[in-house]
Structure 1
Amino acid sequence: MDWRWNAVCTDTLAQRDPQITTDGAGGAIIAWRDGRNGNDDIFAQRINSLGNVLWTSNGVAICNADESQWDPQLATDGSSGAIIAWQDSRSNYWDVYAQRIDADSVVQWASDGAEISTAAGNQDEPQITSDGDGGAIITWQDNRSDADYDTFACRINDYLVPTLLRSCFASYEEPAITITWTLSEIDVGIRFSILRKQLPQETFRKIQNPVIEQSGLFFICADRSCRPGSTYLYRVEVQYEETRRFLFETDPICVPVTFISLNQNYPNPSNPGTTMTFTLPEKAQVNLSVYNMEGKLVRTLVNESMDGGLKEITWDGRNNQGNPVGSGIYLYRLKAGNRILMKKMVHLKWSLPRC
């Protein structure tokens, strides 16, 4: 015995159900169920051949999502890291999630893990083994049919891309961002979801009713709603029957500004405030003002030099003297350099209800 009884984690509350796999360098990676935050989460630690911990004291958080995460299972990724799978109740049912962590304790996939199976019913008691090529094969028991449990399995590579993805690409060509992908195989009934995130926002939002064209195993989708001066990320998910899974995510794509534009304010009608957005192709002296229908100036919102890009300005429904204006139709006028653009908006004066 070279060493014994070395502490891997001694944090508060309970640490249970440890599982272990080799790190391929004489040491090991250990994952366990951890109660330090109140709910059960998944933590992990790497130790070397002498039993010394190599990562943060008391372990690295693999998942601390809402509700409970149980039954961690792990397999080596062949690069001194590991792929960890567990059953997860954040949806109030048991699902299967996974995370890859590299040799330096950096998680590689989505925060709090990536969905492996979130079908109806429960998916639990996952098991995992290395595929010998940096990925893993995960299996679990599954009662999505509301009858007896069945057994399902999924193979993922080291980037969490199902092996059916052959290639993917995204680019901007006026007037749209185009996303393309090619599969190595396809099943009848397969469907895709396109999600978009406008940086620096942190949340992906599903594009409603995207037009996806198919030619054999090749797919293409064009997003014509992108705004000049904005940067976007896209995520494509594949769904078959009741199972939805991450397929790929694009690099950030910047939409260049080639012209001045003034967008419709939102909300419209305003009550009590509203937001106006516009784009500039380059640095310019900008004046954005609100006028009444008689052409009289109500409020100067911007009067300064601004760099090119997408701009967002809020009007609080007050005039230059700080007083609320009455309900009615107003004009907002953008002057940038020698270009002038104007739009109408409806303002509803906000008032407290009478008792």
Structure 2
Amino acid sequence: MMKSFRDCSRPFWLVMCGMLICSAEAPAQWSNDPRVNTVWEQNENQGAPLICTDDEGGAIVTWGSERGIFANRVDKFGYRQWGSNGAPVSPPAGFRTPTNIIPDGLGGAVIVWEDFTKSFELGVPNNPENEMYVQRVDRQGRRLWDSSGVIIRERIEKAGIGDFEILSDDYQTFMISWFDQREPWQWYVQRIDAYGQVAFEPNGRPVPIESFANNARRRVVSDGKGGMLMTRFRQNANQTAAVDKITKEGEFPWPTEGISVNTGGAFATTSDGQGGAIIAGVYFTSPSPSNVAEGRIQRIDSAGSLLWGENGKTFTPDADVRTVPHLVNDNDGGALVTWDDTTGGQRQRFVARFNSRGKMLWKTQGFRIWYHSTIAPTIIGNDKGSMIWLVVDFNTTAGDLFAFKVDSNGTVPWGMEGVLIRHRDFEEWPYFLEATRDEQGGFIAVWSERRPSFWQNLALQQVSVNGKLGEVVTSVHERHEVPTHPQDFVFHHPFPNPLQPTVNLSFYLRKPSQVLLRVVNLTGQEIVRLVDQPLAQGNHAISWDGRSQNKKEVVDGIYFCQLFVDNVSQVRKVVVLH
């Protein structure tokens, strides 16, 4: 007989204190040698890898090969979960390349690819028009939508597409946008739900702007309500960027010229976490050939108001044509910005943090490696407000790869020299470098490289919050999360968090189990009991509306969701802000 959990008597304050002060290292499959890394050896070429978090400390990787597009899930210890060959995402063979991957919120992923197969079949290989497809795979690697994928944009003669973007803020709907050469050149959007059903007209809905899109560069972030904010170059304007809003319903409430943010070109964008965006760019104050420029950063809210003045804030007065800023949000309405410029006659790398009011809190410099603007670094942010970036040292012939980290308070825990994460004793470079967070302050990176076998294979490396290769750091919090049998159940991260106006609490059971799911406050007092019954094997999702057992709205603050499965517990934090 299964046991009920009505007498869960372990002192909650004692559990939480242990979570805060204790940590441990766990054995892992990951390599700890930058000369070796973790390589997925295959007798075929594997190219264009992409990676996203699985929200459980591991990652999902997708790539292209002659057999089609495949994906594999690697857990936080470095073990592949979908076999040595991975799971198929697309139909077999063809001419396909993955372009985007994001988590689906349930341990799986949504993957976008461009497809040239039809053009090659029609015999137009010199100037082929591509198509766009999307597929969702679950945490077991199974395709959930049509086995051929869902077509987002079919082939149109003399009209290619590119610069695909996909995002979601609730994992129930996904917004996809792209640049399209249909006359006039334009950006298009499409929405698809968790079941693979598209919402707008076939081949997407055009985004109305005041002129045609003669420059495909643009960046998108979530508006916090299922839609997106799109930053682009504004046509017929003085080197400025403009922001457009696309709602979840496919409406365009802002003017067709967009909202000018006066940050200049070479822009980067990140969400401010409150439905708005933060944009950084390079604004030239004098024309060529002098090319005098400054770096500007601006915040725009969900209503289209500029919050940091008409011209934003200056993060450097010494920008030039090689300066390209990059951003991550600080999870408090501000952002960290990184760039390189020539200060005092020497090229240097800088990082600065601006708070939600546009005040620069600190600036640090002196990193060993700066990089040319044409070499885009791989940038990672996390929920602690830190920034990590990966860069290849082109001063060597071995393709040395370094990682740097700056915390939210401006400290540099991995040093100004960075952490060497890849080195080869032969001349070989990493290609298609991508990375994702590991949920513990570190990251997992993937790239493609030519092996001694002459095959192009994937290499991966995990780096811990301590800057150590292959070290899996677990806290007492995680020890309570990981059962004796690691796959008995998985408690996914609550979303959206903060709660707005409900939060989704989802979990996976490997076998039928007695389950208790409850919400407690900081003192351990039970607020509401959401589940207390046997449940079947599989995925389960429970919604909490921020109310107590007697249906009263709880006060703003931090709460903990406790999931008990056959005497083993996991805890997730939820923030309530009414």
- TM-score, normalized by the shorter chain, greater than 0.5: no
Relative contact order, higher structure (CA 8 A, sep 6+): 2
Give the TM-score, by structure 2 length: 0.26
TM-score normalised over the length of structure 1: 0.42
Q: Between Structure 1 and Structure 2, whose CA radius of gyration is higher?
A: 1
